[in-house]
Structure 1
Amino acid sequence: MEQITNYVKPELIVVAIALYFVGMALKQAQAVKDKYIPLILGGISIAICAIYVFATCTCGTGQDIAMAIFTAITQGILIAGLSTYVNQIVKQANKDE
């Protein structure tokens, strides 16, 4: 778990927690098929991370903008993965073996 947090910006970890609850709500509502929930969470995560990255960077050149886009996508994927990882930990901890 420590290695994951080395790559994720600490201020974005709260997004993973929020995504966990969004995923639970989608599953409970049965509004979408389970196989689409990770894709939806990934899209939401990338969008939120993009808002954060562009709000906190000074994008003066094309290279800065490209780096901000890359950072937003990378952080979004990592945050969505972290959310799914937490979900699986909770599921496996509740299993009786």
Structure 2
Amino acid sequence: MDLLSFIMDEALILVPVLMVLGKIIKQTQLIPNRFIPLSLLLISIILTSVMLGLSFEAFIQSILIAGTAVFGHQLFKQTTTARQ
């Protein structure tokens, strides 16, 4: 099962956007690290609603998009960072 097959093509561009925004948030240290995924979810809800309109489907898409961005970041981080 491919996670990206559940995300609409129009909303797929938001995955790298959220990854970049997450990196910016982390670098500026405006928000504690534990709240970055939640803030990305809120940003995803806003951006997806702007792109797709206010609907239940847009809300589900925003959760999938934020989850994919956070999961992708963690997968990359945990496979490339040396264990101590």
Aligned match for 1:93, one of 70, 73, 79? 79
Hey, what does 1:4 align to over in structure 2?
3
What displacement does 1:95 show? 2.0
Q: CA deviation at 1:96?
A: 2.5
Identity among equivalent pairs (%): 29
Q: 1:80 aligns to what SS in structure 2? A: helix
**Which residue of the partner structure matches residue 57 of structure 1?**
none
The CA deviation string for residues 50-93 of structure 1, in whole angstroms up to 9 with x for no partner, is 11112xxxxxxxxxxxxx51011100000000000110122022
* C-alpha distance in 2 between matches for 1:53 and 1:15: 12
**Following the alignment from structure 1 to structure 2, what is the Cα–Cα distance between the partners of residues 73 and 11?**
14
In structure 1, what is the equivalent of residue 20 of structure 2? Answer: 21
Q: How does 1:17-56 map to 2 (within 5 A)?
A: 17-54=16-53
Scaled by the length of structure 2, what TM-score is found?
A: 0.89
Q: Hey, which bits of structure 1, 4+ residues long, moved more than 2 A? A: none
Larger radius of gyration: 1
- Could you list the runs of 5+ residues in structure 1 that have no partner in the other structure? 55-67
